[in-house]
Chain A
């Protein structure tokens, strides 16, 4: 059968050289050990520096805090990365008084973060020669809903295909509707290229870790590739498989996360997301 292949800008398999895109894992959050409720550590990442604030208790039982304002990346930037910086104790004017510039900071040791994933890790710090090692994870308060209307989809590279002709890059973008209820999510994307409708539907479960979501489930895609040899009937490729969307941030302007997926033949890795439409 001769098939008229049609590719548009919204739906493209690129026969171009490609490589993996860079990571910039978002660690900013409130972290804790859920078995040790009462102390915590605040992380704020800006580009390649984390500002760490540690909230603990002193020998007298009073609350106290330490800061490490320049925690730097020691390894490759990935969800499993190691960071380290000096740790300081500060003294200063009481909160009830007029604030002056008499703050004094003293280096007391170091802080080391070894993330094993985007949602947990090992926190090691030393204060005046005393070393403390803690397992930490993100603290979860609320699960934001991604429900809404977007324009979006996914942008991935394709690997590990039985049919090597599919290896490359793939974008699927269109009108997107997300519904989310009680830990279940459904993402429906559709687009029209050259008069043919293509669609993908992702259904799965959601889990929240701190500010980020983790979604997993199954997908089905019906991809319009053109008309048959008589130019009358649409020809479609049906793809189905499983997916995970990790470290999904739902924001005012949309949502975005890291996508991995596999269909009958290939593995996909890249990003999933959408920009809100008014």
Chain B
């Protein structure tokens, strides 16, 4: 029992001894509230920190009473495949009284597995005292993140079979996002010093899955100040994470023929708002 308790309270040890250092993040952020949209009433709170998931599963017991289970240390074997970990049931001091953590008892009831098919869809498998449950889950959505704004960032991608013959492209500069309904427009002005100067306009349709959004059915066109030829094509921007400081997502594009781009589009919010000029009153 003590060993199980030590495992479920793993976060305590990490928080007090300094969090473990991990490799640079390359996973989509799976942190979210997940559910099965056809089974409203239960859910899973998923928190990803680097390569560890802390899962809290809130369901009902055979007496229809709310019960929660936790899998506090879900990882991927060799850094790939589903996240798996032991599932625990806990009992403890009633919320209405003083809370003594020594009064918490932990019991291993089985295991939990999260297999992500996409950043927004997964299969949750868990077992409790020999009963195995399989559920398809998705992120729960209730408000579309506000992407509108002006950013400093750009688009950076590897290229394959493109006319430039270069292995990569970079369009750094200013990015402005505006949304009307599900239509999103991304206007960027990229600057000299890193790539050719010019402008791009990207237009696509926004879809939401929980805290992440995607832009699909996108088309883009770019013009360069020092070149007569413009470029255009189709694009998608997926797993877009937006927060108070900026946004970023995975970018794929096809510039026509076999020319493809794969990389990232993102930026930090511009740290200031430029106010419109004050109009002088007309002279008498």
Residues in A lying within 8 Å of B, measured CB to CB: 8-10, 14, 16-21, 23-26, 28-30, 32-40, 42, 44-49, 51, 53, 55-67, 69, 89-97, 99, 101, 103, 127, 130, 132, 139-148, 151-157, 169-171, 173-175, 180-183, 191-193, 208, 210-211, 247-254, 256-259, 269-278
Contact = CB atoms under 8 A, between A and B. Distances in A.
B40 A273 contact: no
B273 A53 contact: no
A30 B47 contact: yes
B197 interface: yes
Contacts of B45: 30, 42, 44, 53
B245 A269 contact: no
A32 B244 CA distance: 23
B104 A37 contact: yes
Contacts of A97: 62
14 contacts: A14-B274, A18-B272, A18-B273, A37-B104, A38-B92, A63-B89, A64-B65, A141-B54, A151-B170, A180-B21, A191-B193, A256-B243, A269-B271, A271-B268
A19 B273 contact: yes
A19 B39 contact: no
Nearest to B101: A37
Contact of A25 (B15, B152, B244, B275): B244
Contact of A278 (B21, B28, B48, B262): B262
B90 A99 contact: no
B67 to A, nearest CB: 5
Given A130-B96, A152-B153, A256-B243, A145 B24 contact: yes
B60 A132 contact: no
A11 to B, nearest CB: 8
A145 B211 contact: no
A276 B92 contact: no
Interface stretch (B6-14, B177-185, B226-234): B6-14
Interface stretch (B76-84, B136-144, B214-222): B136-144
A111 B92 CA distance: 21
A90 B268 CA distance: 40
B256 interface: no
Contacts of B269: 21, 155, 256, 270-271
Contacts of A169: 271-272, 274
Contacts of A101: 40-41
B68 A64 contact: yes
B204 interface: no
Which are the 5 A-B pairs with shortest beta-carbon distances?
Answer: A270-B271, A253-B248, A9-B191, A103-B41, A38-B104
Interface string B221-257: 0000000000000000001010111101110000000
Given A29-B47, A95-B133, A251-B25, 19 more contacts: A10-B172, A17-B276, A38-B103, A44-B211, A49-B143, A51-B140, A65-B66, A139-B11, A143-B22, A147-B24, A155-B152, A169-B271, A208-B19, A252-B28, A252-B248, A254-B264, A256-B245, A258-B245, A275-B266
B18 interface: yes
B68 to A, nearest CB: 5
A182 B21 contact: yes
B27 A252 contact: yes
Nearest to A48: B143
Contacts of B15: 34, 139-140
A18 B91 contact: no
B192 A271 contact: no
Contact of A157 (B48, B142, B154, B272): B272
B249 A253 contact: yes
A173, A250, A252 — most chain B CB neighbours (10 Å): A252
Contacts of A181: 21
B25 A103 contact: no
Given A141-B11, A211-B47, A275 B156 contact: yes
Contacts of B41: 90, 92, 99, 101, 103
Q: Which of A17, A34, A275, A278 has the most CB of B within 10 A?
A: A275
